[in-house]
């Protein structure tokens, strides 16, 4: 086959919603885009463990502690499925970690904000995992097979995460005045960063058009943001909390909520590394990597020893 016919075959698969698999021919830029998106997604899951991990020892009851611990462990698992999916594209895990630690690879802006009170656990589950589900359910139909399959399990777990967050918010919103204030304060601080999670507006998103053509992305950033706002506003009403956006208004003609102006300067500032916790998050990940060196060395030494033992046995049998 010529490169031209490889390309044709690839295009036909994309057009007919046939998944692209690791051994299939794919354009270099398709591979590069997937490595970028999947590895950044994996990094987001791993860095995303930090803001909530910060509250495990301070959870208000044993039940809350067990649930939060399970959630944070799930995020670690999501990171691992995603690193594995990215590895099928020809990048190693060490290379991906290196890109994270040197600041070459991004991770979601949302995890550069601090978790100040217990109510932030509710807001993260409700809003951040809610936004993640909105973005990730369509990714179950993304064109690259290993990424799509990883997303199916991730979404099932994210759905539990979103509910546990909303349940925390509901309990606080129905609690004492102080608890209600904590819930409202958490919503005030997490609302705008959560709607920024969907990425820059479509007219300023360099990757969207091509990723939509390749069916890596099934909806644009603005489409997903709008869907999220429409469902979340109703959820806030249900528990008596107020979305901190005075311009939020139902638009009968569009059949959607209109919303206020997003501070994109803040978003780009956080993406460039100047958010409230960027340095701390990266330092924590680097420290974990350095302090885990002995575990990696021990695992490698053990596997080498096992291999040598197996080979010895084979030689003895052959002799
Ligand atoms: N933060 O052209 P665009 C989770 C970057 S984990 C930082 O629209 P694209 C969870 C973007 O990378 C949530 N950077 O890009 C975990 C690009 O820069 P590069 C993570 C952002 O890729 C634990 C530039 O801006 N989810 O849910 O077409 C607990 C231009 O953007 C952000 C995923 O990763 C951002 N928010 O669209 C709880 C989902 N947004 O790479 C929850 C998979 C944009 O060219 N990823 N940038 O240097 C995606 O769906 C897409 O990659 C995005 C961006 C929608 C995020």
Gap between the Cα atoms of 152 and 265, Å rounded = 34
Distinct helix (H) and strand (E) counts, the chain: 14, 2
CB 96 within 8 A of CB 86: yes
Binding pocket residue ranges, ligand 1, CB within 6 Å:
36-37, 40-41, 44-45, 48, 75, 106, 108-109, 128-129, 132, 135, 197-200, 205-208, 211, 221, 271
Query: How many residues are recorded in the chain?
Result: 319
Residue 1: its pLDDT value, please?
Answer: 66
> Exposed, middle or buried: residue 65 (CB in 10 Å: 0-12, 13-18, 19+)?
middle
Q: Is 249 helix (H, G, I), strand (E, B) or coil?
A: strand
The DSSP code for 19 is P
Contact 220, 205 (CB under 8 A): yes
Does position 61 have pLDDT exceeding 70, yes or no?
A: yes
| Ligand 1 atom 12, closest CA | 106
Q: How confident is the model at residue 128 (pLDDT cuts 50, 70, 90)?
A: very high
Atom 32, ligand 1: which residue's CA is nearest? Answer: 199
Rounded mean pLDDT of 62-66?
A: 97
Confidence of residue 4 (pLDDT cuts 50, 70, 90): confident
| Token couple for 261 | 């102006």
Tell me the Ramachandran region of residue 18: left when phi exceeds 0, alpha when psi lies from -120 to 50, beta otherwise: beta
Handedness of CA 313, 296, 93, 56 (dihedral sign): positive
Distance 144 CA to ligand 1 centre (A): 17
Q: Which two tokens stand for residue 62?
A: 């044993």
Higher pLDDT, 239 or 4: 239
199 CA → ligand 1 middle, Å: 6
Neighbours of 89 (CB within 10 A): 18
Average pLDDT over residues 193-197: 98
User: What is the structure's pLDDT at 277?
Assistant: 98
Q: Which residue has a Cα nearest atom 37 of ligand 1?
A: 199
Cα of 68 from ligand 1 centre, angstroms: 24
Taking phi over 0 as left and psi of -120 to 50 as alpha, with beta for the rest, 103 belongs to: left
What does the pLDDT average to over 10-20? 98
**Secondary structure E strands in 156-255:** 249-251
DSSP 3-state of 257: strand
Evaluate the CA torsion angle 11, 16, 20, 25 in order and state its sign. negative
Residues 221-245: tens digit of each pLDDT: 999 999 999 999 999 999 999 999 9
Q: What is the pLDDT of residues 18-52, one digit of tens each?
A: 999 999 999 999 999 999 999 999 999 999 999 99
Residue 193 has pLDDT above 70, yes or no: yes
Rounded mean pLDDT of 268-285? 97
Cα separation of 110 and 213, whole Å? 27
- Residue 316 has what pLDDT? 81
Q: Residue 120 and residue 279: Cα distance in Å, rounded?
A: 20
Nearest to 186 by CA among 199, 168, 161: 168
Question: Considering the chain, what is the average pLDDT of its residues?
Answer: 96
The answer on pLDDT for 313 being more than 90 is no
Looking at residue 260, its pLDDT comes to: 98
250: three-class secondary structure by DSSP = strand
Mutate to test the pocket of ligand 1, among 45, 163, 195, 207 (most ligand atoms within 8 A of CB): 207
Q: How far apart are CA 127 and CA 121, in angstroms?
A: 10
Cα 134 to middle of ligand 1, angstroms: 13
Residue 235 CA: distances (Å) to CA of 44, 85, 95, 126: 25, 34, 41, 9
What pLDDT score was predicted for residue 155? 96
Contact 121, 168 (CB under 8 A): yes
Residue recorded with tokens 């067990």? 66
Of 187-201, 211-225, 226-240, 303-317, the least confident: 303-317
pTM greater than 0.85: yes
Nearest alpha-carbon partner for 203 in 188, 187, 220: 220
């Amino acid at each position: 086959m010529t490169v031209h016919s490889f390309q044709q075959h690839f295009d036909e698969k994309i057009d007919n919603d046939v998944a692209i698999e690791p051994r299939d021919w794919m354009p270099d830029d398709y591979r590069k885009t997937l490595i970028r998106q999947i590895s950044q997604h994996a990094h987001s899951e791993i860095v995303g463990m930090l803001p909530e991990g910060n509250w495990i020892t301070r959870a208000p009851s044993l039940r809350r502690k067990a649930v939060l611990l399970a959630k944070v462990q799930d995020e670690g698992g999501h990171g691992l499925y995603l690193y594995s999916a990215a590895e099928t594209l020809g990048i190693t895990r060490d290379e991906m970690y290196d890109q994270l630690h040197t600041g070459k690879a991004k991770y979601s802006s949302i995890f550069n904000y601090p978790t100040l009170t217990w109510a932030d656990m509710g807001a993260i589950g409700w809003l951040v995992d809610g936004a993640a589900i909105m973005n990730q359910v369509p990714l179950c139909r993304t064109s690259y097979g290993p990424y799509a399959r990883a997303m199916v399990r991730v979404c099932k777990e994210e759905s539990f995460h979103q509910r546990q967050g909303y349940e925390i918010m509901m309990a606080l919103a129905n609690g004492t005045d102080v608890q209600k204030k904590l819930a409202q304060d958490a919503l005030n601080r997490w609302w705008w960063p959560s709607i920024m999670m969907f990425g820059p507006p479509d007219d300023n998103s360099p990757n969207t058009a091509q990723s939509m053509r390749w069916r890596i992305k099934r909806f644009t950033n603005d489409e997903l943001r709008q869907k999220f706002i429409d469902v979340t506003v109703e959820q806030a009403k249900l528990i008596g909390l107020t979305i901190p956006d005075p311009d939020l208004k139902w638009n009968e003609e569009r059949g959607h909520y209109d919303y206020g102006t997003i501070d994109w300067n803040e978003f780009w500032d956080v993406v460039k590394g100047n958010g409230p916790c960027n340095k701390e998050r990266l330092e924590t990940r680097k420290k974990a990597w350095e302090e885990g060196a002995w575990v990696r060395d021990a695992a490698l030494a053990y596997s080498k020893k096992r291999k040598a033992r197996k080979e010895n046995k084979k030689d003895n049998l052959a002799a």
